[in-house]
Amino acid sequence: MSTAPSGTGAQVAARDSAQGEKTIAVPAAARPVLLVANFAAQIVPLWMMHHLGQGWPVFIMAGILLLIVPAIDHLLGQGGYKFDPKLGETTMRGLLFAQAVFLLLTFAAVVAVAASGRVPLWASIFAVVTVGIINVHIPVVAHDFGHKMDRTNRMISNAVCAIGGLGYFMPQHVMGHHIHVATPEDCASARFGQTSYGFIVKSFIPEVMGGITLEAERLRKRGLPVWSFHNDVIMGYLFTFILAGVLVALLGWIALPFILLHHASVWFSLMLNDYIQHYGLMREMMPNGRREPQSPAHSWSADAPLCNLMVFNVQRHAHHHERPKLSYQDLEALDHGAKCPTGYFGMMVLALNPPWWHHVMDPLLVEHAQGKRERINVDPNSPSSEKRLNKLLERYHAAA
């Protein structure tokens, strides 16, 4: 069935007016084609590694998805792309299911290649880490099902999360992050001055514990036992252990460290994206002591075409926070709010280099906040961050 356009008419009209003649209609077939191409870009190099007994094909996989795709997105630019003109809910769910199957196959394949002993150890480790980083698609797919709160969709979300060992993710994301986003209380919102590595180390345990705690609270409120199959965290990790058990039974115990390394890489990639999506943004405190409502000003969005096609419009993040239950194909590129200088794949590369990240993003953040200190989420216990922010604020106001 076809889907109606999302967002308010004023938002869509304003966006289209702003884009004018630049608007490019992307064929609906582009998304499934890139879905298969993304899978092939991983599975073919893995087959070559196993067949040839050499490590060099891993650089093909890493180069395509971590260098070439971000470069093409950057060259194509952002905005003006219309996706999925005839793509309905049923078709999108089919694509999401297909992506889930591809994610499972690439996970199993990279563990099998690494555990086979046919390739050098360095190549095995590099391949597992690369697939794990690329498999940030796991929470993307689980995310769409998990925001639909019926039991069936949540179980599908749990099963997808199991591929990356992310059983905690959806409870924390839905009941924690979406409530406290862009505030100091949200462990998934990075503060000004934090490096990506510091943020990941600091936020990992609070995110996991947040998912466990929030899921337990949800069940208690409904009068359901915490230690039961009603618990999405338990179900997610039960699926994870079953999947790991099957791989260990087939491949031997040598597979276990590679399974754990894959999951750690998926966690790293997920939190790297958390870092990007709300870096330094803060909802102002109102006179009544509450935070202002969420708006597109509190999410860093992008509209690079390849990334949108490959990860289902997830970089239209501002609209997602505005309407969390909206399906991916209905997300719009809003013409207001915080804008990334390039697509999310490119932003991941940028975030892995903290000096480069701060050189690009810190002035952009101050400009987006219009030089208002209260709109910037900075750690008051970090003198170096405060000092850098004050210098940027002074420079902004001097130039105004």
Q: Which pLDDT score, from 0 to 100, does residue 74 have?
A: 84
For 180-209, the pLDDT digits (tens) are: 999 999 999 999 999 999 999 999 999 999
Could you list the residue range(s) of the whole structural domain that residue 168 is in?
9-399
Cβ-contact 22, 79 below 8 angstroms: yes
Cβ-contact 99, 35 below 8 angstroms: yes
**Helical axes 196-221 vs 354-368, angle rounded to 10°:** 60
Q: Which pLDDT score, from 0 to 100, does residue 86 have?
A: 62
For residue 1, tell me if it sits in a domain: no
For residue 4, tell me if it sits in a domain: no
**Helical axes 383-399 vs 354-368, angle rounded to 10°:** 50
pTM for this prediction? 0.90
Per the structure block, which two tokens stand in for 105?
């196959």
Q: Which pLDDT score, from 0 to 100, does residue 20 have?
A: 41
For residue 270, tell me if it sits in a domain: yes
Q: Which pLDDT score, from 0 to 100, does residue 236 have?
A: 94
Query: What is the percent of the chain with per-residue pLDDT over 90, rounded to a whole number?
Result: 64
Q: Which pLDDT score, from 0 to 100, does residue 13 have?
A: 37
Cβ-contact 291, 283 below 8 angstroms: yes
The 3-state DSSP class for residue 378 equals: strand
Nearest partner of 267 among 205, 215, 331, judged by Cα: 205
What is d(CA 166, CA 293) in angstroms, rounded to the nearest whole number?
A: 29
Work out how many domains the chain is built from and give that number.
1
Q: Which pLDDT score, from 0 to 100, does residue 326 have?
A: 81
Collect the ranges in the chain with pLDDT lower than 70. 1-23, 83-87, 149
For residue 2, tell me if it sits in a domain: no
Q: Which pLDDT score, from 0 to 100, does residue 11 have?
A: 41
For 137-171, the pLDDT digits (tens) are: 898 898 888 777 678 888 899 999 999 999 999 99
